[in-house]
């Protein structure tokens, strides 16, 4: 510091400001990561250098990346999970800005009262990152291709998924809100059809199974014209277990779709094939028979307290 009456008044170099952080922020109004599709290079602002009179430099401006609830952030190189956004407004510093350097006033000593050096600031973090979205829904629909999941979703909600008579009509998760009694509602997800070997990556593999992890209730949709309803259910459960054994702790419901072709005698025979400890229900998306009862059952199971 140089003043009129004291030309060597000691060091007065201020500290540098930190670099800007890159921050993930949960936004309940977002449902996909499409808005980030072309937003691949994110560069936060550098911190400002310190200046004379012990003035600290301004911190770099933080960058906020809004993501839907259920987003997981990973490192591209090692695949390690670094952050998970589950609540609206939740903020997590994903990549920290570099720490600002120290001005020369920090290095003054009794023998060196006017040091001419300062500590430079640190570099910020740098790297390639991955954002992955796992669907947050109350109920996930599980079943083979063409089991009637998309048709059920279109009947129970305002969602309009693609429906056709060939395998894997649904290629991406479809969400819909089910309007229930007394203005209540819950969210249901139609997921791509599972096949034997999906846990090993066959068919749509992990693109399907990873979304199951977030659904507290799984509705297994088995068509009435299946060759063996009990066996089909066991195959589906086996694929879930092979992917992640913890999925077996979720609440299961079995729904027999396309039941307009069944009489009471056939329903009784099919019921004998199904596990006794899992609730089941017959419904028809075509005639809408049993749809209200299915909503009641889903709501009841969703709100049961875990024992």
Which CATH number describes the domain made up of 139-302?
Answer: 3.40.50.300
Domain ranges for the chain:
1-133, 139-302
Q: Can you give the three-state secondary structure of 121-184, one letter per residue?
A: CCCCCCCCEEEEECCCCCEEEECCCCCCHHHHHHHHECCCCCCCCCCCCCCCCEEEEEECHHHC
Tokens 């001005």 map to which residue? 103
Buried b (16+ CB within 10 A) or exposed e, 51-68: eeeeebbebbebbebebb
- C-alpha to C-alpha distances, 76 to 64, 71, 82, 127, 230, nearest whole angstrom: 20, 15, 11, 8, 41
212-216, 276-280, 282-286, range with the lowest pLDDT: 212-216
Same fold, 1-133 and 139-302: no
Q: Which superfamily does 1-133 belong to?
A: GTP1/OBG domain (2.70.210.12)
Task: Supply 305's token pair.
Answer: 């307290």
Q: What is the pLDDT of residue 17?
A: 84
Q: Could you read off the pLDDT of 72-99 as tens digits, one per residue?
A: 899 888 888 899 898 889 999 998 888 8
Which has the higher per-residue pLDDT, 101 or 51?
Answer: 101
pTM given for the model: 0.60
Q: What is the pLDDT of residue 15?
A: 81
- C-alpha to C-alpha distances, 44 to 91, 289, 296, nearest whole angstrom: 16, 56, 50
Q: DSSP character for 190?
A: E
Q: Which of 253, 255, 257 is nearest to 287 (CA)?
A: 257
Q: Could you read off the pLDDT of 174-185 as tens digits, one per residue?
A: 778 888 888 788
CB atoms within 10 A of CB 250: 14
The mean pLDDT value of the chain amounts to: 80
Interval 206-234 mean pLDDT: 83
Q: What is the pLDDT of residue 194?
A: 66
Is it the case that residue 61 has pLDDT exceeding 50?
yes
């Amino acid at each position: 510091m140089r003043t009129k009456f004291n030309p060597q008044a000691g060091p007065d170099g201020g500290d540098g400001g930190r670099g800007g952080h890159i921050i993930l922020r949960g936004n309940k109004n977002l449902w996909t990561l499409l808005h980030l599709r072309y937003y691949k290079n994110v560069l936060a602002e550098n911190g400002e250098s310190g200046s004379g009179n012990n003035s600290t430099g301004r911190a770099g401006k933080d960058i906020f990346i809004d993501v839907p609830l259920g987003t997981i952030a990973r490192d591209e190189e090692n695949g390690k999970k670094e952050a998970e956004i589950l609540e609206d407004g939740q903020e997590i510093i994903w990549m920290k800005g570099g720490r600002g350097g120290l001005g020369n006033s920090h290095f003054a000593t009794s023998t060196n009262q006017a040091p001419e050096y300062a500590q430079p600031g640190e570099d910020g973090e740098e790297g390639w990152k991955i954002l992955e979205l796992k669907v947050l829904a109350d109920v996930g629909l599980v079943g083979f291709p063409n089991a009637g999941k998309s048709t059920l979703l279109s009947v129970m909600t305002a969602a309009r998924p693609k429906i056709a008579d060939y395998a894997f009509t649904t290629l991406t998760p479809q969400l819909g809100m089910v309007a229930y009694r007394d203005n209540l509602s819950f969210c249901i997800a139609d997921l791509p059809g599972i096949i034997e070997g999906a846990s090993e990556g066959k068919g749509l593999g992990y693109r399907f199974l990873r979304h199951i992890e977030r659904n507290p209730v799984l509705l297994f949709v088995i068509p009435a014209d299946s060759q063996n309803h009990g066996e089909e259910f066991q195959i589906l459960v086996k694929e879930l277990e092979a992917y992640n054994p913890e999925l077996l702790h979720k609440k299961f419901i079995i729904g027999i779709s396309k039941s307009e072709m069944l009489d009471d005698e056939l329903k009784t025979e099919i019921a004998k094939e199904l596990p006794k400890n899992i609730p089941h229900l017959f419904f028809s998306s075509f005639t809408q028979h049993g749809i209200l009862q299915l909503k009641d059952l889903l709501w009841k199971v969703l709100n049961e307290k875990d024992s």
